[in-house]
Amino acid sequence: MKIIIIGAGPGGYETAAEAASRGIETILISDGPLGGTCLNEGCIPTKALCAIDAPDQERKQAVIEQLRAGISQLMRNKLITLVEGRAKLLSPRSVEAAGSVYEADAIIIATGSVSASLPIPGAELTIDSAAMLNLSNVPRRLCVIGGGVIGLEFASVYRKFGSEVTVLEFCPGILPRFDTDLAKRLKASLVKRGISIETSARVTAIAPGKVLWTKADKEYETEADCILMAVGRRPNLASLNLDDLGITHGPRGIAVDANMQTNVPGIYAIGDITGGMMLAHVASAHGRRALNHICGTPDGIDFSIVPAAVFTVPEVACVGKTEEECEGMEILTGKANYRANGKAVASGEADGWCKVVAEKASGRILGAHIMGAHASDIIHEAAVLIALGATVSQAGDIIHAHPTLSEVLLAAIRSC
């Protein structure tokens, strides 16, 4: 068996490595550096900046190159052929790239996404997240358009670096898809740290050194030395030749079924290109599902249980259902504060909170939402509990080490 994978981000290269481990010959085609957006322009460099107190391009680049070298080593497998170039689909079994035509039994499209922008006058005066990561100076005044994950992470990082930061978000609250309580608490915490956040703000135009916006029928302007456009991402559909092959797609991405297969048998799409949850770990899980389908191997991957994290200060993380998504259900909610946790207080990280949502009749845990130090690590215990169908009674009986931050989750579970 032979497969072609288009795109070398987490979904692409991890699937290639897994396919090779199963003895499948794999052709990995990429028109950019190994690791894709996540490693080179997203998750990793952003976290590298989060870990320091001033922009350090040399350290950031060293981190990227170290991890890229690791991926390169992983791809040095006799069953993997790495092709550098832009891919064009020719048929359900063939792809053209770098002047050659490659054929396979199945094709997996994993070309990711690109930054989106508002169609407003002066949008060209803004920079995107990739350009933001390459700034060597700290702007005195930073305006961030968008109060989602990307916008808030940069707002938090550059506030720590010393910038005066203003965030403009169109929706009534920040992090629109997150639990409302969690988003409100994070907003209060960020404002306390000196970040100005305006919600229900509609940006109408960009002019040199300022952003024009309206709220409640009133017009405002925010002066800024740097303007970050962080209004999300859109699927990278360019040059794939989807229409000629009749592959169903739209502005939100390529349509796929539960096995990540498109309407054209033998062609799969994974990750951001499908327009769902644009997270690196989702792309990797998509790739595993697609590969399993190609191999005829069933799996138990549950795409309704996906942890998500935002690396602001403090961090936030969630998994499972929000309280709003449980509307119409009888539920239990349990809450706990970091300030009541010994480890949090002792380490000076008492700004935090946790909420657990459970079904009232069965006690089964449905969701967990955390704001505070190491939220991105703690959330995975909740993910395991939800995946295994644990109840608050069962989870509440699990002994946790003391003093640890994970006791915050235990306290929230026990308060349901």
Query: What is the reported pLDDT for 13?
Result: 97
The model's pTM? 0.95
* CATH class of segment(s) 123-229: alpha beta
* DSSP alpha helix (H) spans, 193-241: none
Domain 314-414, architecture per CATH: 2-Layer Sandwich (3.30)
Whole-angstrom distance, CA of residue 167 vs CA of residue 319: 25
pLDDT tens digits along 54-98 = 788 888 899 999 999 999 999 999 999 999 999 999 999 999 999
Query: What is the reported pLDDT for 167?
Result: 98
Query: What is the reported pLDDT for 51?
Result: 80
Contact call for residues 375 and 315 (beta carbons, < 8 A): yes
Whole-angstrom distance, CA of residue 260 vs CA of residue 249: 13
Residue 200: CB atoms within 10 A of its CB come to 13
Cα→Cα distances 88→35, 107, 258, 291, Å: 20, 12, 25, 21
CA-atom Rg of the chain in angstroms: 23
Whole-angstrom distance, CA of residue 89 vs CA of residue 280: 24
Query: What is the reported pLDDT for 42?
Result: 87
Which residue numbers are catalytic?
Answer: 402
Whole-angstrom distance, CA of residue 386 vs CA of residue 283: 21
Q: Which amino acid is at 282?
A: V
* 123-229 matches 2-115+233-295 in CATH topology: yes
Dihedral pair phi/psi, residue 195, rounded to 5°: -90, 125
Name which of 201, 227, 199 is nearest 214 in CA terms. 201
Whole-angstrom distance, CA of residue 301 vs CA of residue 286: 9
Assigned token pair, 1 = 């068996």
Residue at token pair 């390529």: 254
Which sequence spans correspond to the domains of the chain? 2-115+233-295, 123-229, 314-414
Name residues of the chain where pLDDT drops below 70. none
Domain 2-115+233-295, architecture per CATH: 3-Layer(bba) Sandwich (3.50)
Whole-angstrom distance, CA of residue 166 vs CA of residue 224: 9
Rounded to the nearest 10 degrees, the angle between the axes of helix 43-50 and helix 57-74 is: 140
Provide CB contacts within 8 A for 252, sequence distance 6+: 235, 275
Query: What is the reported pLDDT for 262?
Result: 98
Q: Which amino acid is at 368?
A: A
Query: What is the reported pLDDT for 53?
Result: 78
